[in-house]
Structure 1
């Protein structure tokens, strides 16, 4: 097999892999600390978080950007409407979110992938 044929075969194989396998680790449905389900999905060049269940169903509460296991952006507490700058770290089926007010008053919570 020539080098050209081998490269062409590799390109065809790579193109046949479904796009879903390239999804960012943060994409998916997550059980929040308060028990609701939140969906994180791509929205433009960022990732948006929307509440799917409970009292705040349908509310978009966050937008983050990043890749791999580290993300940063803003998240809004749907109960009080306050927005916080924060980070999110994905570790397998866990998502640790840390939000800060004035960059010194910070709180963290963990979500679990559903």
Structure 2
């Protein structure tokens, strides 16, 4: 009987962790004040600017689950693409772009 209770408790805990994953999709205010939309596109997530000088431009593609994502990020002003990652925590998204995995820049975006 105790074994069944433990198994049931494990399933409930796993379901709770699955629901606790932070969603990446939505609208985000970038560090420069523009709005970026992150939407599902195939098996990944596309990052597209909605406002500002580069509105309509796709600036990234990330894949992953559970609040941690990796892929590519483009600096629209310089039109350069970097390996990137994003980590969601509540209403914050830490976006990081790196050159050769050693020179990195991080920005914090806020969910709108």
Unpaired segments of 5 or more residues in structure 2? Answer: 1-18
CA contact (8 A) 2:40 2:46 kept: yes
With the length of structure 1 as denominator, give the TM-score of the two structures.
Answer: 0.79
Please state if 1:41 is matched with 2:39.
yes
Larger radius of gyration: 1
What displacement does 1:24 show? 6.5
State the alpha-carbon separation in 1 of the partners of residues 84 and 37 from structure 2: 18
The partner residue of 2:96 within 70, 95, 98 is 98
C-alpha distance in structure 2 between counterparts of 1:31 and 1:72, whole Å: 19
**Of the candidates 76, 79, 88, which is equivalent to residue 77 of structure 2?**
79
CA distance in 1 between counterparts of 2:28 and 2:49 reads 10
Runs (4+) of structure 1 exceeding 6 A deviation are none
Give the structure-2-normalised TM-score.
0.80
What's the offset of the Cα at 1:79? 0.3
